[in-house]
Amino acid sequence: MTRSSSASKAASKAAASQAEEDLAHLSYEQALAELERLLADMEGGQLPLDQLLESYKRGAGLLGLCRSRLQAVEQQVKVLEGEGLKQWGES
């Protein structure tokens, strides 16, 4: 492995770490709105190739964030249901 290759991989890891930190502060609603905007931009077909790739990467991160937040809420609902919440219509 060459020095430039090692430096490139290190820079790539640092950028990925920064992107994760940027996503962490977003609410589900903010992440979903940004994802929808990115999709509209990408589907518009007007983005340069480099920007298209960056948008795809950002979108993948946003999608992962939305999925994990939804899974967390689903787990919380299951816990609440297990603690005695009744279905609608039950006495």
Q: What are phi and psi of 24, to 5 degrees?
A: -60, -30
Instruction: At 79, list the tokens.
Output: 């816990």
Comparing 90 with 68, the larger pLDDT belongs to 68
Instruction: At 25, list the tokens.
Output: 């502060």
Alpha-carbon distance of 56 to 62, in angstroms, equals 10
| Mean per-residue pLDDT, 26-36 | 97
Task: State the maximum Cα–Cα separation within the chain, in Å, rounded to a whole number.
Answer: 71
pLDDT attached to residue 86: 65
Please provide the average confidence, as pLDDT, over all residues in the chain.
85
Q: Is the pTM of this model over 0.75?
A: no
